[in-house]
Structure 1
């Protein structure tokens, strides 16, 4: 399951990375293609404008002296644009005056007409060469738009030979056929480069993701080994704790317990001997001895009860089901109450730490139910599910605020939780005032025996 989840995460990361890289490739490729197109158009316009200026400039110098074109200059321009390489390359040509009038046009119908000054035309009069692909929607392009849908439009300043001042602007149009091939080839090269770069980045990303996944897998394996070692140590600790408590109980019984019992016997003997003696308060010494005897007897009873609570019965050879039955019967004998016991598919045997924890869990939860809820309707349910022993202890008592009890750190609940979680299990309490109590715990049946390494 962890392997499948890890593989799914790797695929998700790679798929997400691929989508991001693909989106980036499309954005970069589109931008690069647009820049290439603009660059090619600008270069083509600049080169052509220099060529045109070298041929046309001499025939418009009359504008600097007379403010208009001579008829001879017009005829020379007509000859340049018909039957020459320049005429084959340029499909339309205009010469503009600074006031927006067309001084010359390859279409005579436009000559002398005045149009609004466009930004590109104004820029040319400021000394800039401007090229772009025009959709021929402007009024001065009414004749070109009938033959072509798009043309390369270029504005170039024309300068006076003597002063260098701009005396006019030449506008010429070229077809996009040759340019489209050049731009298409450049775009193809740019897309191939961007695609190759994206593929390299994706392969690097895939390598990094797989390396990270392998590192995580290694760390998870180490964590699982560490967790297993912790579980083994916890299992050994549980068993050792119970044996240590058993030893304390035996020491209490054989040490202070025996001394108190001997003291009680001696007290009885001394009380009979001094029964007739008097004391300063007027009470017989025998009565004082009986008071001390009663106190010692109560202390001995409490000591035996503590020792009995510390010591578990011999459950090493019992099955899990028998351990639960033993805990329920011991409680019934002490409390005088009946406990319902239901078991479903409980394994015959289980690790010793689980048996210890199961007995202590039932012992404490049933005692808490009687102490705080009166022991009404107590029942215990055990069943096996997915390699775990599920334990439920419920009653119909008066209940309590479970959240407050958990946060206040009640020793009974805290002790049960600690015992369960130290074996890697889970523990929860559900209760509310007037609604009874339900304690749930899951104990891993794979917990190791305390002697296992």
Structure 2
């Protein structure tokens, strides 16, 4: 595995996805452009050279082939044919286009040459000669090695070597090969122009491809960045919600634990009230009835027993009145509040001002909480604060409701007294917290010189 330098890894992490693609794509496309450009230019050069060779061979064949037909029957040219060829090469149309000219027999003999010293000599057949004997026109920038190329090599020019087959006019049989050399300056110029155009086309296409792909990837990268930022915001928001839910869950757990403790204290208080009140009165009645049964009763025992039982029943009814709730199902929030206010006014004889909005309270737990809140706070204002003016309100608040009771009494501290651990407000606060709400106790407002304002907020 190839180790990536740390600096490159850091650079890759800092660059956007689009720029990472641009750099990687530039490297890959440049390599591809070089390979494609080399292949295209090589094929274009081959095509240009071959086209020039074919055109030149066709021109030469139109002049040379009629003068070389004697090679179909003999291995040498007649003197008249050599004279005509020499005239065409030195002063005729071939003199303007070619540097030198040779005609070869299929056996490798030089039947004619612009260099008379080569006529009649035999040389080994080269691959280009063999290809021409098979009917191909072959062109190449030859290195011109060998004794048969001495004149061309000494010229110091770059020459294009062309081999073209000579055919029998009657049968089409190849009877020889024409080898001619022409200067390559114009061909090289044409190749340079073709090479430049092909490289410009390949580079333009490559740049256009890279630009188009970069635009596409840049748009995708920007969208990914936006989605990543949106996800980061959502994760942060969810983390905040999780923290808030954790805090709320802990508060609810604590409220539940405190509610259990308060319930135990309620049960102990009810047990003590039953033990110290009705139980004692009923025990006294049982003792007097036992004395009557044994004939040891007193004249007023019947009256005492009746009074004890009546007092016990009265105390039991008083306890039950504090524990039971009227039927709240099917009532609106305003109707629940009215029932609590009327019940307080009936039992205490106090007058309660009210400003109650018609709000919806959906759950039974919220209705009970609203009833208990008004019952407890109104009772505290009357019994403990000695208030002469009490006002109850119910109104919508945010996505829930707000209920409050305000009085002009002596006021009290919201902190529990360790020597007298009360149950009413503490239990009420735990009930409100368990439903996701909160309770606030503050000094009275609205121009009251003293007193207390107790507010409850329920979702």
Q: TM-score range by the shorter chain?
A: 0.5 to 0.7
Q: What are the ranges of 5 or more consecutive residues in structure 1 without an aligned counterpart?
A: 264-453
State the secondary structure of the residue aligned to 1:100: coil
Corresponding residue number in structure 2 for 1:69: 77
Corresponding residue number in structure 1 for 2:176: 168
Superposition RMSD on alpha carbons, in Å?
A: 2.7
Residue pair 2:128, 2:138 contacting (<8 A) in 1 also:
yes
Q: Evaluate the alpha carbon distance shift between residue 262 and residue 109 of structure 1 in structure 2; reply closer, same or farther with a 3 A threshold.
A: farther
Corresponding residue number in structure 2 for 1:24: 32
Corresponding residue number in structure 2 for 1:90: 98
Aligned equivalent of 2:197, options 174, 189, 206: 189
Report the CA distance between 1:22 and its aligned residue. 2.3
Q: Quick check: 1:207 aligned with 2:241?
A: no
Equivalenced residue count is 262
Whole-angstrom CA distance in 2 between matches of 1:149 and 1:27: 31
Whole-angstrom CA distance in 1 between matches of 2:93 and 2:268: 131
State the secondary structure of the residue aligned to 1:142: helix
Residue pair 2:99, 2:181 contacting (<8 A) in 1 also:
yes
State the secondary structure of the residue aligned to 1:154: strand
Corresponding residue number in structure 1 for 2:232: 224
Corresponding residue number in structure 2 for 1:140: 148
Q: Quick check: 1:45 aligned with 2:45?
A: no
Q: What are the ranges of 5 or more consecutive residues in structure 2 without an aligned counterpart?
A: 1-9, 272-459
State the secondary structure of the residue aligned to 1:95: strand
Report the CA distance between 1:149 and its aligned residue. 5.0
Corresponding residue number in structure 2 for 1:287: none
Report the CA distance between 1:181 and its aligned residue. 1.4
Residue pair 1:6, 1:213 contacting (<8 A) in 2 also:
no
Corresponding residue number in structure 2 for 1:408: none
Corresponding residue number in structure 1 for 2:441: none
State the secondary structure of the residue aligned to 2:229: helix
Corresponding residue number in structure 2 for 1:102: 110
Report the CA distance between 1:111 and its aligned residue. 1.8
TM-score (normalised: structure 2)? 0.53
Whole-angstrom CA distance in 2 between matches of 1:260 and 1:150: 122
CA deviations on 1:322-379 (whole Å, 9 max, x unpaired) are: xxxxxxxxxxxxxxxxxxxxxxxxxxxxxxxxxxxxxxxxxxxxxxxxxxxxxxxxxx
Residue pair 1:38, 1:132 contacting (<8 A) in 2 also:
no
Which contiguous aligned blocks of 4+ residues in structure 1 show a shift greater than 3 angstroms?
Answer: 4-10, 254-263
Report the CA distance between 1:9 and its aligned residue. 4.2
Q: Evaluate the alpha carbon distance shift between residue 37 and residue 262 of structure 1 in structure 2; reply closer, same or farther with a 3 A threshold.
A: same
Aligned equivalent of 1:248, options 250, 256, 262: 256
